[in-house]
Copies of this chain bind each other. A is one copy, B any other.
Amino acid sequence: MVQVKPTQVLELLAATPLLNSITPLSERNPSSSIQATCIFAASIHPQDKMAAVNQVYIAIIGAGGVGKCFLSQLQALAARRPSPKLSLCYISTSRKALYNVDYSPVSLDGVTESLAASTQAPPPLPQVIDYLASAPAKVILVDNTSSQDVADAYPLALSRGLSIVTPNKKAFSGSYKLWQDIFTAAATSGAKVYHESSVGAGLPVISTLKDLVDTGDKVTKIEGVFSGTMSFLFNSFAPTEGQGGKWSEEVKKAKALGYTEPDPRDDLNGLDVARKLTILARLAGLPVESPTSFPVQSLIPKELEACSTGDEFLEKLPAFDQQMEDTKAAAEKAGKVVRFVGSIDVATQQVKVGLEQFDRSHPIASLKGSDNIISFYTERYGSNPLIIQGAGAGGDVTAMGVTGDLIKVLSQIA
């Protein structure tokens, strides 16, 4: 692709009346901007041309914790970078939506309040995609949900030329077919899809793994702590120095501090970590079928799986403390500590999630607070891995990954 200043294209078009009689190119390829430009030249007012070609439309689905942080970062970004003009053309929650059929921008000022006050319900997703694909400029769809339904619509959106940035793990850790459909659609239409925050929030995990693979390094093993909740729990339960508390008490404390899901079993079942491992394994070249197609150790005692509420679970958990105490003691006997980790052995194609023992001096053992740590072992890096460490959860750092992706897409499409 050659980059051409849109104003120059318009000048050329204006200088050549003959062009107005050229048959419009197929509407099936919305990523081809020359087509959009030709349509403009015929159908919009001359004073709108500049505006139309110097802007990128942003459409947002989801306005929860991460979504609100992203909105604030987007507003600051739009103010800092006047070109291309970033115009919000659509925003929705599961129950409400804000957009204008003529694509006139939705103001970012007080958008959360405007959305809450809206009486529009979000149209069905295929209709939203139709609306966005017909926009008079390129569109970046930001999915700030954790919805499987939205994720399932990515192949359609991408095939219609909409670029996607998202922290939503579901699209990349669901069925392998969905993964393939997403990247095939993107490759075919030229639309971009970025999902840095789907693993380790804003930490540069996905981009680093992609760089390693794209530059021809051979990743041999990926290992780490991929859950802020699990990190906090084990750093408190089995610290490298001192004794740590009882397991059930640490779980209660973590919940009180807001480190767990409302029902802590949603963290303790290991599925969140398994989803992240699925994404990294696929990027490393392993065709992992699903996050349940490899061994995942659940820390929920079998007897408590049927508890009807998280509170009931927490109430009954102390009866099972001895089990975790034995695990901790076994590690201590070997001079080690126990941690909840995920690992991918690329050569043997083994992916697993669960408890493992580490030397107290190991970086995984000496992690602090609720930090994540991800170690990439590769041919080029040899025995000492490339390590990335830091907060792997939280609204602001997750939104940062999304905003960073947005900037990357802008550098390529605008």
**Chain A residues at the B interface, C-beta cutoff of 8 Å:** 1-6, 8-9, 12, 15-16, 18-19, 22, 25, 32-34, 37, 53, 73, 76-77, 80, 138, 190, 202-204, 207-208, 211-212, 214-217, 240-241, 361, 363, 366, 368-369, 371, 380-382, 384-391, 394, 396-397, 400, 403-404, 407, 411-414
Contact = CB atoms under 8 A, between A and B. Distances in A.
Contacts of A390: 381, 384-387
Nearest to A369: B384
A204 B207 contact: yes
Given A1-B6, A386-B388, 5 more contacts: A1-B414, A3-B4, A4-B4, A16-B16, A381-B397
By DSSP majority rule, is chain A's interface helix, strand, loop, or mixed? Answer: mixed
Contacts of A80: 216
Contact of A389 (B5, B387, B407, B413): B387
Contact of A4 (B2, B202, B203): B2
Contacts of A37: 2, 4
A385 B216 CA distance: 30
B413 A3 contact: yes
A43 B390 CA distance: 56
Given A3-B413, A34-B5, A404-B215, A361 B369 contact: no
Contact of A387 (B19, B385, B388, B414): B388
Contacts of A16: 16, 18-19
5 contacts: A3-B413, A202-B386, A204-B204, A386-B390, A389-B389
Residue of A207, A216, A400 with highest tally of chain B CB at under 10 A: A216
Nearest to A361: B366
Contacts of A6: 1-2
Given A15-B18, A400-B217, A3 B73 contact: no
A380 B397 contact: yes
Residue of A1, A5, A386 with highest tally of chain B CB at under 10 A: A1
5 A-B pairs closest in CB distance: A386-B390, A387-B389, A215-B403, A2-B6, A2-B33
Contacts of A12: 12, 19, 22, 34
A208 B216 contact: no
B403 A216 contact: yes
B18 A34 contact: no
Contact of A388 (B15, B53, B388, B396): B388
A5 B32 contact: yes
Nearest to A399: B215
Contacts of A18: 15-16, 18
B391 A389 contact: no
Given A389-B386, A390-B386, A413-B3, A76 B216 contact: yes
B3 A190 contact: yes
Given A2-B33, A216-B403, A384 B368 contact: yes
